[in-house]
Amino acid sequence: MKHLAVSVLKRLLLLALLALLVSALGALHYFKQWYTEPMALPQAGLHYQLKPGGNLSAAAAELAKQGVLDHPQVLTLYARVTGQSEVRAGDYLLQPGLTPRRFMKMLHHGDVVNYALTLIEGWTFSQAVQALAKAERIDSQLAGLSLEAQMAMLDLPIEHPEGWFFPDTYHYTGGTSDVVILQRAYRKMRQTLDQLWLERAPDLPYTSPYEALIMASIVERETGAPWERRKIAGVFVKRLKANMRLQTDPTVIYGMGEAYQGKITRADLKQPSAYNTYVISGLPPTPIALPGAEAVFASLHPDLDSGLYFVAKGDGTHVFSDNLEAHNQAVRQYQIGRREGYRSTISPTAAEQ
């Protein structure tokens, strides 16, 4: 009887182990099937935002409530077992065909959606702030604030923001603030200006890199044709050296602010202003726009054979003159009684030359 009882017990244990094994294999098969099958995503996909401080458990639970993911606890447990429970905040695009396994890896590796914004050469600081406020998934903190409050938020070693932000395309993740992007743009402009300042031509009428930045902003606003930048800079540099006023319209327009409604008059040119270079001598107190690298280079490598005057021809290019008589003749030809089709900027096709 004793041997029979032991034999029966062994058989029962064997059957129990076999049942557990079958159950485990079944669970494993079901897990693999669930783990590699597409989630219930809409055909157009789903944008999911994982906020800073969020975790995989919360993300899985939220998607389960939306009917996208089954068994969120299983995913969280498996992530912990495999060392993939750490996730990165940001915007994620969940497209049809995405499996729970791939979803877990996306959050772990931070495969977030990247956005892009371009700051344009010649924009003012105000225009840059407005563009950032309208950009997709930007955390706008500067729009609507006073200039003093904006400067405090930016926390940069400058007294005035104009001209200090490098015009370029900036990539960012959802929720990035406009402050962060402008701080990046400032660092790039500072690096560009400092490097080009070290490589500058000799005998320039600037006492600091900042004065070169001011000049670059004027060149940027005056130049419709890229190949004329150094010639434009050359005219202004020669006028500074000769103690002549710069007499450039873009500085007057900048000084007018919101009073500028698309045209300037003779009265505007006579109106005293810190930026009216028809009235003041030398450079205005700050830049008037965001200059690109080519404008900065031109201000530090001017073409000094360009003359003392220039006038817009109406196709985006200019006529350069060495003396006032030739300049007045060009003004009569191109400015007085402007013909139909007059342009103040170069055509996009010509700009690519």
The per-residue pLDDT for range 308-349, each reduced to its tens digit, is 988 888 787 888 888 888 888 888 888 765 544 333 443 333
Please compute the mean of the pLDDT values over residues 220-226 and round it to a whole number. Answer: 89
In Å, what is the CA distance from 207 to each residue of 187, 192, 295?
Answer: 21, 18, 18
* Alpha helix stretches (DSSP H) within 84-228: 100-109, 125-134, 147-154, 178-198, 209-222
Please compute the mean of the pLDDT values over residues 284-297 and round it to a whole number. Answer: 98
* Residue recorded with tokens 């073409």: 303
- 175-206 per-residue burial string, b: 16 or more CB within 10 A, e: under 16: bbbbbebbbbbbebbbebbeebbeebeeebbb
Residue 12 CA to chain centroid, in angstroms? 71
CA torsion, ordered 8, 10, 11, 12, to nearest 10 deg: 90
Secondary structure class of 117 (helix, strand, coil)? strand
Please compute the mean of the pLDDT values over residues 106-111 and round it to a whole number. Answer: 84
pLDDT of residue 6: 52
Cβ pair 305, 334 in contact under 8 A: no
Is the pLDDT score of 88 beyond 90?
no
Question: From the DSSP assignment, how many helices (H) and strands (E) are in the chain?
Answer: 14, 6
State which amino acid sits at residue 191: Q
Secondary structure class of 118 (helix, strand, coil)? strand
Q: Among 91, 106, 87, 90, which residue's Cα sits nearest to residue 46?
A: 91
Query: What is the C-alpha to C-alpha distance for residues 352 and 12, in angstroms, rounded to an integer?
Result: 85
Query: What is the C-alpha to C-alpha distance for residues 316 and 324, in angstroms, rounded to an integer?
Result: 21
Work out the mean pLDDT of the chain and round it to a whole number.
85
Cβ pair 289, 216 in contact under 8 A: no
pLDDT of residue 341: 38
pLDDT of residue 174: 87
**Per-residue tokens: 116:** 């892009």
Residue 46: CA count within 13 A, CB half-sphere? 18
Please compute the mean of the pLDDT values over residues 277-295 and round it to a whole number. Answer: 97
pTM of this structure = 0.79
The model's pLDDT over 250-269, given as tens digits with 9 standing for 90+, comes to 999 999 998 888 888 889 89
Cα-based angle 230, 214, 176 (whole degrees, multiple of 5): 110
Max avg pLDDT among 5-14, 23-32, 222-231, 340-349: 222-231
Q: Where in the chain is the domain with CATH 3.30.1490.480?
A: 35-112
CATH topology of domain 35-112: Dna Ligase; domain 1 (3.30.1490)
